[in-house]
């Protein structure tokens, strides 16, 4: 158990809908990272938050947004969902901003299926 929790574990929804994925980092970790894992694209970095502020952005679609709250949990919002958004979404956390190459601890993931 990495100490990172993600809810829900599974999510089934329809095209055009909006969902929210939630992540609680390990106790003491200030950074939260979101990654998308699909069969054809592998593990893709989406976005990083550090202590409430956006730190880095990857190939995140405009339909997706995220935030980190004062208690350091993070939410990833996916809207106007398309079939191609079906994937595993992982959250990871690290103690710092990543500049010292701290270990990123991954949660168990949320499996999203868009029908």
Partner 1 sequence: QQQVKQSPQSLIVQKGGISIINCAYENTAFDYFPWYQQFPGKGPALLIAIRPDVSEKKEGRFTISFNKSAKQFSLHIMDSQPGDSATYFCAASAPSNTGKLIFGQGTTLQVKP
Comparing CA positions, the residue from 58, 51, 19, 53 lying closest to residue 35 is 58
Binding mask 75-104 for partner 1 (x = CB under 8 A): ---------------x-x-x-xxxx-xxxx
Of 21, 24, 33, 74, the residue at the interface with partner 1 (CB under 8 A) is: 33
**Nearer to partner 1 by C-beta: 27 or 99?**
99
Contact positions with partner 1 (CB under 8 A) in 44-73: 44-45, 48, 50, 55-56, 58
Interaction site with partner 1 (CB under 8 A) = 2, 4, 31, 33, 35, 42-45, 48, 50, 55-56, 58, 90, 92, 94, 96-99, 101-109
């Amino acid at each position: 158990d990495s100490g990172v929790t993600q809810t829900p574990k599974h999510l089934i929804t329809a095209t055009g809908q909006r969902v929210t994925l939630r992540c609680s980092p390990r106790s003491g970790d200030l950074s939260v990272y979101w990654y998308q894992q699909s069969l054809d694209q592998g593990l893709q970095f989406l976005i990083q938050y550090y202590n409430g502020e956006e730190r880095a952005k990857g190939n995140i679609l405009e339909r997706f947004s995220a935030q980190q709250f004062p208690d350091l949990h993070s939410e990833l919002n996916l809207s106007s969902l398309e079939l191609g958004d079906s994937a595993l979404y992982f959250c990871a956390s690290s103690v710092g901003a990543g500049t010292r190459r701290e270990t990123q601890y991954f949660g168990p993931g949320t499996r999203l299926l868009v029908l």
